[in-house]
Amino acid sequence: MESLLSPVILFFVLGALAAFARSDLAFPEPISKALSLYLMCAIGLKGGILVAGNGFTTDLLLAAVAGLALSCLIPIGTFFVLRGFGRLDATNAAAVAAHYGSVSVVTFIAGNQILTDSGIPPAGYMIAVLALMETPAIVVGLILARGGTNLKLQSGNELLRETVLNGSVVLLTGSFIIGLIIGKDGFEPVAPVFETGFNGLLCLFLLDMGLLAARRIRLARNLTARLVLLAIVFPLVNGTIGCLVGAAIGLDVGTTTALAILAASASYIAVPAAMRLALPEADAGLYLSLSLAVTFPFNITIGIPIYTYLAKLMV
């Protein structure tokens, strides 16, 4: 309940309500883009500085392997459920599955902040795990789309640029490395920009995301009740698996919750662009609506408290 009343969540809800009520509240798009870059840069730096302080530990390695495994395996289960219960064709099921195997940076940032405010901050190395989990699901999704055989990318270089060199991946990884290099002392001169304003700017960004998610659901077509149900069940199941894995490898409560959030979240930044390139015949409106308009709001408002509760039970 406490996390539901955090400013981050309340601003998100305000944005969603405003969009549903058809208010003329709007966020200038370049500012929204700038905010997302700022948040990724700040979270990457903070993660790198924490790892610089604690060093490379066994927990980091285990979390990285667990994250990679989840990112590869989640799309497979998701794909077959979408094909069966969701009644999607192979191309659309694979495209949607890739989104659920990958991760949502914004969900992670919001979760990270809520956990930190609750006194159970996740380990800094989870930023590296986040970056690792961005792309493997795209490859698995493409293999699933091609039926496991004759995987032939239409344009390898183009796809590589959209996945490995995707702006969010580059900025997160780059900031993380900068944080590792500069350490706590080097961070101090720039801390006022990346620390003092972080919470307030996160609230503004979540306000915009609330507007965006609600607009997306208002425009959604081809969304069946079955698919909406799956977009809620997938994060619950994947988040629970994330909790189980985190507890099994000995992570603390905050870090286990962060792994669960990563497993439960669905990408809507890196994967949509990659899928549009690799599987242009898939319905972009469908996968954007499911990940951004259903799963993202669910995770932000209900999912994160549930994963936190489960992690506390299991760890």
Partner 1 sequence: MVIKSHCKKIEILVDAPLWRRIRDQAMEMASDGYTLQPTLGGEGARGRWFDDQVTGGAGSKVVFTTVLEEEAASRFLDALEPMLEAYGLMVTVTTVEVVRAVSGPSSNSD
Residues of the shown chain interacting with partner 1 in the complex, contacts defined by CB under 8 A: 29-30, 32-33, 36, 155, 158, 162, 166-168, 208-209, 212, 215, 219, 221, 268-277, 280-281, 284-285, 288, 292
> Which CB atom, from 33 or from 226, has the smaller least distance to partner 1?
33
Length of the chain: 315
The contacts of residue 307 (CB under 8 Å, 6+ apart) are: 111, 239, 240, 242, 243, 257, 260, 261, 264
The contacts of residue 68 (CB under 8 Å, 6+ apart) are: 132, 133, 136
Q: Cβ 105 to partner 1, closest distance in Å? A: 10
Q: Cβ 33 to partner 1, closest distance in Å? A: 4
The secondary element (H helix, E strand) that includes residue 254 is helix 253-264
- Alpha carbon separation from 185 to 180, 181, 194, 219, 225 (Å, rounded): 11, 10, 14, 48, 52
> Which CB atom, from 87 or from 218, has the smaller least distance to partner 1?
218
- Alpha carbon separation from 113 to 76, 154, 163, 195, 199 (Å, rounded): 30, 39, 26, 12, 8
State whether residue 288 is helix, strand or coil. helix
Q: Cβ 261 to partner 1, closest distance in Å? A: 19
Residue 26: DSSP 8-state: -
Q: Cβ 68 to partner 1, closest distance in Å? A: 22
Cβ-based burial of 212 (10 A; exposed 0-12, middle 13-18, buried ≥19)? buried
Q: Which string of DSSP letters, residue by residue, matches 112-131?
A: HHHHHHTT-PPPTTHHHHHH
Q: Cβ 281 to partner 1, closest distance in Å? A: 5
Q: Cβ 6 to partner 1, closest distance in Å? A: 21
To the nearest 10°, report the CA torsion of 265, 115, 52, 202. Answer: 70
Q: Cβ 119 to partner 1, closest distance in Å? A: 30
Can you tell me which residue has the tokens 């285990």?
A: 62
Question: Rounded to whole angstroms, how far apart are CA atoms 189 and 200?
Answer: 20
Q: Cβ 200 to partner 1, closest distance in Å? A: 19
State whether residue 50 is helix, strand or coil. helix
